[in-house]
Copies of this chain bind each other. A is one copy, B any other.
């Protein structure tokens, strides 16, 4: 979280930029909603900065592209102006929900990719898990009022790629340990930092259940983490489902 003190028309109103991720347990609220509620601010005063941006690499000034989202474009543009440099590129968005959900749900799929890598599977499996994961993310998000295209941009696909593939990702590390044979409890005990996806998985599974959207990947990760399901059995169950076309449960007419 970071306070933005703008000298323009917005100077008199406190505004917040959230760089936090997650869904609140129970309420399933996004972080900008929690921040607005706790600080007693209107939702329009909370912007979100997200995207594929490992801090370790931003510090080294490696080229990075991100998104700033706020309900009103001028606030998003102010965040863009504040953070843009020649190595940190900021695109603007007004789809706050989509940008936040992308950064949240990806952690569950990063655990799934880690499990696959730990089991010794290859690039094909990982690409399939990531693509089908983004599919689940997008279908959930649209039903929560997010815009479909947001998930195919930097806050969705971009952040998913960085998290699923990076050696910096704690969620991937957790999954990999489980894929190699540790129980979830043993794997968690070996972690020195929090793997957010572990906490997000039950909320994500509950969310999909509440929206009645078929999300087999989220569900299998949840079952492995919390129900003691064998990861190989999970993968077998995923592969032997009926194979429909790629896009199900999208509201009719959303794409022409």
* Residues of A near any B CB (own CB < 8 A): 52-54, 57-58, 60, 62-65, 67, 80, 84, 86-87, 89-93, 116, 121-128, 130-132, 134-135, 138, 147-149, 151-154, 157-159, 161-162, 165-166, 168, 235-236, 239-240, 243-247, 253-256
Contacts and interface: CB of A to CB of B under 8 A. Distances in A.
Contact of A158 (B89, B127, B138): B127
Contacts of A135: 152-153
A217 B90 CA distance: 17
A125 B88 CA distance: 10
A28 to B, nearest CB: 24
The 8 A-B residue pairs with the shortest CB-CB distance in the complex, in nearest-first order: A52-B127, A65-B128, A131-B158, A64-B124, A57-B122, A127-B162, A153-B246, A127-B161
A118 B243 CA distance: 39
In this complex, which of A67, A90, A147, A239 has the most chain B Cβ atoms within 10 angstroms of its Cβ?
A: A239
Contact of A87 (B138, B239, B245, B256): B239
A134 B152 contact: yes
B91 A123 contact: no
A65 B130 CA distance: 11
Contacts of A52: 123-124, 127-128, 131
In this complex, which of A65, A147, A154 has the most chain B Cβ atoms within 10 angstroms of its Cβ?
A: A65
A198 to B, nearest CB: 21
Contact of A91 (B80, B153, B243): B243
A256 to B, nearest CB: 5
A57 B246 contact: no
A154 B131 contact: yes
A93 B244 CA distance: 9
Contacts of A90: 243
Contact of A67 (B80, B166, B246): B246
